[in-house]
Structures are given as C-alpha cells and as structure tokens.
Amino acid sequence: MTHLDDSPTATAELLTGIKAVVFDCDGVIWRGTKVIPGALATVAALEAAGVAVYFVTNNSTRSRAMYMDKFAAKGMPHVRKDQILSASYAAAAYLQSIDFDGAVYVVGEVGILEELEEAGIPAIGGPDQPPMTLAELEVYKPDPSVSAVVVGADTGFSYTKAAIAQQYLLARPDNLFIATNPDTSFPTQGNFLPGAGMAVAAVEACASRKATIVGKPAPFLLHGVLDRLAASSSEPVDRSSVLMVGDRLDTDILFGSTV
C-alpha cells in the first residue's frame, strides 16, 4: 500500500484538480478509541499540499465543540470548528435554513441538544428523558410549542422515547420529522454496534412516516462544504474538485457520488 506521506508522486496524481478532501471519522480517522494508522499523516500531507480538509461525520452523539476536543485528544489540535460538519450540526443547520421557529423533541444525545442550543432552537427530550409507564403515556399531553422531532443515535433509546416521538408526529401531521442519519451500525474496536438507523426505523414504524435525512447520504452537508470552499476561494468551486473518503458504501460513498 502506498501512503500519501511516503510518495509525493502518488499524492500529486491523486490530487490533480482536487481542492478539498472530505473525511468520514468513525472507521476512517479512528476506530473506537484508536487512531487508524496513517490517518494523521495523510491529513497532514493533504494540508501541506494546500488542499482544504473537512470532516463530515454521521455520528450525532457529539457537537462540533465536542469533536474539537476529540480531535485534539487524538493528536489533531489544529482542527477548527468550521472544518467539522456533524450530523448533530446538520439537524440544527437544516432547521435554521428553513427558518424554523418552533421547539424540537429530541430522540438522541447531548450533541444534538448542544447544536440546537447554539442555533437558538429550544429543545426538550434527549438523554435525560425519564421512563414513563403505559398509563402515563396513555394520557401524555404533547407540548404545543414542539413542531419538529429530531431522531439521532441514542444509547438510551427506549419505548418511552419512541412513544413520545410518535405522539408528536401523530398529533400534528405537519410537524417535521428529521433524522440525523440512517446508519444501521457504527464500527468500534473489533466490533459493530447499532447506529442511529435503529431509532429512526422504530419511530418511522410507529408514526407511519418517513423521516427527512439531513446527514449522509443526503446532500445537505455537501452544500455546507461547498459554501465553505466558496467563501475561501476567489474562483468558482466545481463539485468535481471535492474528494470523499469513507468506509460505508450506503452513506459515505453515496454521499460522495452526489459530488
């Protein structure tokens, strides 16, 4: 295998016409708690060659600020917030893009809540949603200020969370139903665990509705990358000048094919 940091010729050939490289994170930059060999050197080689680097991850459990801390801990303290486009950020940015002015019920973790808060969008639910009995759920009164449900990866996903999300989506058919991503699993060290797709599928089933996907493979975050490139370039940005590096055909590479 030829690594970019070992072969200037290979680097030049690969990067002909490329202005930016977009990396997935889980399974590409790191796997579980360990950095993948060669990942940091590859990113450094690209940056040294003047290529813009972005990180687009479907992991919604962290906010961009939390990801900055993780990158620093993995030996990449120079990674800026504007280089990170996470699925948690996608949910908040999408709602901002359509001038959403309601509150959100979140099935997910703190990453989504932090991004919604930064965007000035009120939210309830999240990891602190307490369990409820069937009797309590039968008389549950949806908060009238909530006009969207956002579902992402949730290690504490429960019947209660699915039931409450269902109530918001059935009570008002015009309420938005947003999913951060459809990934059925994510890689850990030597294993795979359920991804956001598990919770998304459950809520879709009980609400009899399909969610709007804002993370990969949907093109929403690609527009974010292109907007950032355009803002830092004096020349028009061609989609073909963006290269995607990922480990999943159904999300990363499908996302990259929209380039």
For 181-239, write each residue's pLDDT tens digit.
Answer: 999 988 787 788 999 999 999 999 999 999 999 999 999 999 999 899 888 877 777 88
Look up 128 and say whether it is catalytic.
no
Q: Tell me, yes or no, whether 2 lies in a domain.
A: no
Distance CA 39, CA 3 (A): 10
Query: Which one is predicted more confidently, 32 or 156?
Result: 156
Q: Tell me, yes or no, whether 242 lies in a domain.
A: yes
Question: Are both 104 and 149 inside the same structural domain?
Answer: yes
Question: Are both 167 and 115 inside the same structural domain?
Answer: yes
Task: Please check the confidence at residue 158 and state whether its pLDDT lies above 50.
Answer: yes
When pLDDT is averaged across residues 74-85 and rounded to a whole number, the result is 95
Residue 186 has a pLDDT of: 86
Buried b or exposed e, range 226-249, using 16+ CB within 10 angstroms: bebbeeeeeeebeeebbbbbbebe
Residue 1 has a pLDDT of: 45
| CATH number of the domain to which 236 belongs | 3.40.50.1000
Could you give the C-alpha distances from 218 to 154, 187, 205, 248, in angstroms and in order? 20, 21, 21, 14
Question: Are both 131 and 174 inside the same structural domain?
Answer: yes
Q: Tell me, yes or no, whether 96 lies in a domain.
A: yes
Residue 11 has a pLDDT of: 64
Task: Please check the confidence at residue 161 and state whether its pLDDT lies above 70.
Answer: yes
Distance CA 42, CA 1 (A): 13
Query: Which one is predicted more confidently, 50 or 165?
Result: 165
Residue 45, domain extent: 8-86+217-257
Residue 2 has a pLDDT of: 52
Question: Per the residue annotation, which of 5, 6, 26, 101 is the catalytic one?
Answer: 26
Distance CA 220, CA 259 (A): 12
When pLDDT is averaged across residues 77-84 and rounded to a whole number, the result is 96
Cα angle value 35/246/195 (rounded, 5°):
80
Q: Does the annotation list 216 as a binding residue?
A: yes
Question: Are both 204 and 250 inside the same structural domain?
Answer: no
Which pLDDT tens digit goes with each residue over 19-73?
899 999 988 999 888 899 999 999 998 999 889 999 999 999 999 999 999 999 9
Question: Are both 125 and 194 inside the same structural domain?
Answer: yes
Residue 252 has a pLDDT of: 83
Question: Are both 204 and 137 inside the same structural domain?
Answer: yes
Task: Please check the confidence at residue 249 and state whether its pLDDT lies above 90.
Answer: no
Distance CA 31, CA 17 (A): 30
Q: Does the annotation list 26 as a binding residue?
A: yes
Question: Are both 93 and 209 inside the same structural domain?
Answer: yes
Question: Are both 107 and 18 inside the same structural domain?
Answer: no
pLDDT band for 127, please (50, 70, 90 cuts).
Answer: very high
pLDDT band for 253, please (50, 70, 90 cuts).
Answer: confident
Task: Please check the confidence at residue 3 and state whether its pLDDT lies above 90.
Answer: no
If one counts the domains in the chain, the total is 2
Question: Per the residue annotation, which of 24, 154, 183, 252 is the catalytic one?
Answer: 24
Question: Are both 54 and 149 inside the same structural domain?
Answer: no
Q: Does the annotation list 247 as a binding residue?
A: yes
Which pTM does this prediction carry? 0.90
